[in-house]
Amino acid sequence: MTADLVIHGGTVVTDTTTFAASVAIKDGRVLAVGAREAMPEAAEQLDATGLHVLPGAIDVHVHFREPGYTHKEDFGTGTAAAAFGGVTTVFDMPNVIPATGTAEALAAKHRLASEKAYVDYGLYGLLGEDTIAHVPDLVAGGVIGFKLYMGNTFGNIPSPTTGGMLEAFEVVAPTGKRVSLHAETASIMARREARLRAAGRKDPLAHLAARPAVVAVEAVARAAILSEWTGCRIHVLHISSAEELRPLAEAKARGVDITGETCPQYLLLGAEDYGRIGPVIRVNPPVREARNQAPLWAALASGVVDMIATDHAPHIPDEKVRDDIFTVDCGFPGVETQMPLMLTEVAAGRMSISDYVRWSAVNPAKCWGLYPRKGHLQPGADADIAIVDLARRWTIDDAKLQSRAKITPWHGRGVTGLPVHTLVRGRFVMKDRALVESARGTGRSVHTIQEMPAPRVANPDSTMTEIVRIPAASRGDAATGAAA
């Protein structure tokens, strides 16, 4: 058999080890990993001498803003940024116009993404009180999961009441889909912010003051109770504080199927950076006091926090630089800088490259049932690959980012580690730091392929008595539709 491509000379990285090996690719999948002389003939060869060969990162939290806010980003620019960042699968959020809360809106978004995307993607459906009735249609239409906003965010999506949340979880639980939570309690933040504004506060740190960690602690604890009661799988987005880790760890210990992510901004920035960075730093939840960083790193190491995501949330400079912090749009791009920022911490000895692969690829794939088709590079897996130079030192320059929103808190930061080539299902989408324009439209919608154990259900009298699996390949164009 002739392979389509063989990557020679690199160091292959798994979540437990690294080893020198060649990687052969055929029909979009990994065909073989091993000694150079054991590789089949290949139509194309790539010399990766001195480079590391990683499973592409899976970023379960991005906002590519299409449709509705394409002056900030679209599926073309957002997935190009992913390709430059070594990210081969993204899960896109539903707070666009119209919100992704109906079958029609979802179908329209699938069309837009499939035409433009350079990397694979999952689309979240919006789960709010108004969209509970649409859950079956959204599942049939191929959502990767649901997003529920417990706190206010960009797009003014209303937060459901606790009663609405319980009902939403009851409806989603039998589908087996995971609900990703913006876990900040809206009513606490609204009162704090009103008091700060009344007192004349407009400075960047007023944003942090309006959202003390209790907003997240209360939200995570409440969501965990409802998850346990209904058997609905949940995921805590953008964990920012040490205090949230306790309700998360306690729920995990009780057997609740709850997963969590944190983001580079919470691991690497602190309250002292507000002065230096200014209003660009505004993000929900806020960057917190530096004392939170070490517990977040420790939670990744122990598995209490499962993964790294970015909350890539682009806005243009006009929307990020304003005198009154409460009028600044929340969030900033991150999908392109996540891997270099984290590889810099690998270079500094904070964690191993295998730890990074576990948090960026293996765990996200497992938590959403994409493993073993994605998340690693064993034969049979999708050939989603980031080939990186761990020694390359460079400086992040907002003007050179692929994202349409050329403004981040990372501008001017020195990093060590650079994705040099990115492949999605065996196809180069970024090669030698250049976008492969002909790969536009390469990205495909991903779907759950692996059944996961049923979560614990605290309420034995629930009318929901079993977790019903969503059949694989619910959409014909599914990149990962067939069972591996």
Catalog residues that contact Zn ion under the rule CB under 5 A: 311
Q: What is the widest separation between alpha-carbon atoms in the chain?
A: 72
Does residue 109 contact residue 432 with C-beta atoms inside 8 Å?
A: no
- The nearest distance, CB 407 to Zn ion, in angstroms, is 17
Query: Smallest distance from the beta carbon of 203 to Zn ion, in angstroms?
Result: 24
Q: How far is the CB of 280 from Zn ion (least distance, A)?
A: 16
Give the residue with the Cβ less far from Zn ion, 311 or 382.
Answer: 311
Pick the closer one to Zn ion by CB: 33 or 258: 258
Distance from C-alpha of 437 to C-alpha of 363, rounded to nearest angstrom = 30
Nearer to Zn ion, 55 or 160 (CB): 160
| Helix (H) / strand (E) containing 149 | strand 145-149
Residues 6 or more apart in contact with residue 291 via CB below 8 angstroms: 242
Q: Is 33 helix (H, G, I), strand (E, B) or coil?
A: strand
Kind plus residue range of the DSSP H or E element containing 57: strand 57-62
Shortest approach of Zn ion to residue 260 CB, angstroms? Answer: 14
For Zn ion, the closer CB: 13 or 179? 179
> Could you give the CA distance from residue 185 to residue 164 in angstroms, rounded to a whole number?
14
CB of 181 to Zn ion, least distance (A): 11
Q: Which is nearer to Zn ion, 63 or 358 (CB)?
A: 63
Return phi, psi of residue 357, to 5°. Answer: -65, -35
Q: How far apart are CA 341 and CA 88, in angstroms?
A: 17
- Cα-Cα end-to-end distance for the chain: 21
* H helix count then E strand count, the chain: 15, 19
Residue 436: C-alpha distances to residues 86, 132, 427, 428, 466 (Å): 14, 40, 9, 7, 46
Quick one: 66 or 311, whose CB is closer to Zn ion?
311
| Closest approach of Zn ion to the CB of residue 104, in Å | 23
Q: Which is nearer to Zn ion, 26 or 282 (CB)?
A: 282
Question: Quick one: 179 or 420, whose CB is closer to Zn ion?
Answer: 179
Give whichever of 63 and 177 is closer to Zn ion, judged by the CB atom: 63
Comparing every residue's Cβ against Zn ion, the nearest one is 311
Element (H, E) at 274: helix 273-277
Pick the closest to residue 85 from 419, 436, 483 (CA basis). 419
Rounded least distance, CB 13 to Zn ion, Å = 28
Which is closer to Zn ion, CB of 311 or CB of 345?
311
CA distances from 477 to 25, 106, 255, 444 (A): 21, 15, 35, 7
Q: Taking the complex as a whole, how short is the minimal distance between the CB of residue 241 and Zn ion, in angstroms?
A: 16
Q: How far is the CB of 263 from Zn ion (least distance, A)?
A: 9
CB of 330 to Zn ion, least distance (A): 9
The minimum distance between CB 332 and Zn ion, in angstroms, equals 11
Q: Is the peptide bond before 174 cis (omega within 30 degrees of 0)?
A: no
What string of DSSP letters covers 176-234? TPEEEEE---HHHHHHHHHHHHHTT--SHHHHHHHS-THHHHHHHHHHHHHHHHHT-EE
Of 92 and 311, CB closest to Zn ion: 311
Nearest-angstrom CA–CA distance, 245 and 302: 11
Query: What is the 3-state composition of the chain as percent helix, strand, coil, each rounded to the nearest 5?
Result: 35, 20, 45
What is the identity of the amino acid at 167? E
